[in-house]
Structure 1
Amino acid sequence: MKKFIALTICSIVFSTSCSKDDWDNRNPYLPEIAVNVPINTSLPTYNTLNYPGNAVYIGGYGINGILVINTGTGIRAFDATCANHAVSSCSKLTLEGVEAKCSCNDNLVYNLFLGLATTDAQYPLKEYRVNQSGNMITVIN
């Protein structure tokens, strides 16, 4: 009888934990675009990524380019598009040190160490996966 009760409880938990009402964290403003960016940190353009606190902008990938930062504990990469606006001419982010600034009316600023806006905003920056092997960094989704 104990096994039956335990099995019934487990069945209820599993059947209710995956409902269609679960929160969906996909950003409705940003389309899904395939990204595969090889970065060789031996090259002068990307050499600054060998040192903590440095970030680079890489155009031609993602929606409006890719922002890559060495946080000191690892490499992080984000799409260079404001996550809280529909894609437009003003939603392209500008890299300023370790921050990315949106030129749309609300002038959102994102901290690249965290990918979060410095003021209240609904969505964080769209982050990509990063693989690192020696001097090669690959940004993928």
Structure 2
Amino acid sequence: MIQKICSLLMLLFVFNSCSTNADDRIDNPNLINVSFRLNLDLNLPEYNALNFPGNSYSTYNTGINGVVVYNINNSQFTAFELSDPNHPLSECSTLRVEGVIANCDCDDGNSYNILTGELTNGSGQYTMKPYRISKNGNTLEVFN
């Protein structure tokens, strides 16, 4: 009986600690929200690298300043915005991908891991802006 009461109290605590209010989230003031859909047909030569784990594809024609897609293990992929999240938009804030690191050309030397989006060098409070990604057959769809 006591175990059931403790379990119930624990569940109530968990549900009360979750917030559905969008105002409680910390939005990045440096990056705007843009709506887009990017379809990548993995049968096409341009996207062939994404058929193999550990490879990425970058495009600078969608998103804010571009999007990078990374193949983790052929069933899991990541997609991130190629704008430095810790800078207002400027000429130097577009990230360049080298291997699994995205580098910023601004003076602070920010760099990010394209697998996790985390800051690996430099300073700032924000991680890379993630985008949704789904795989249907041989097509990846990246969207926001």
TM-score when normalising by structure 1: 0.82
Q: Which of residues 56, 79, 82 is equivalent to 2:81?
A: 79
Runs of 5+ consecutive residues of structure 1 not aligned to the other structure: 1-9
User: Corresponding residue for 2:94?
Assistant: 92
May I ask how many residue pairs the two structures share in their alignment? 129
Is the partner of 1:84 in helix, strand or coil?
Answer: coil
Q: What is the match of residue 131 of structure 2?
A: 128
Q: Which amino acid aligns with 1:79?
A: E
Alpha carbons of structure 1 residues 110 and 18: separation in structure 2 relative to 1, 3 Å = closer
Please list the CA deviations of residues 97-132 of structure 1 after superposition, one character each: whole Å capped at 9, or x if unmatched: 111100111111111111111135310100000010
Separation in 2, partners of 1:23, 1:124: 18
Rg larger in structure: 1
Structure 1 partner of 2:48 = 47
Instruction: Tell me how far apart the structure 2 counterparts of residues 76 and 43 of structure 1 sit (CA, whole Å).
Output: 19
Calculate the aligned-residue CA RMSD, in Å. 2.2
Cα distance change on mapping 1:28 and 1:48 into 2, 3 Å = same
Taking structure 2 as the reference length, what is the TM-score of the superposition? 0.81
Secondary structure (helix, strand or coil) at the match of 1:139 reads strand
Q: 4+ residue stretches of structure 1 with deviation over 6 A?
A: none
From the superposition, tell whether residues 133 and 17 of structure 1 become closer, same or farther in structure 2 (CA, over 3 Å). Answer: closer
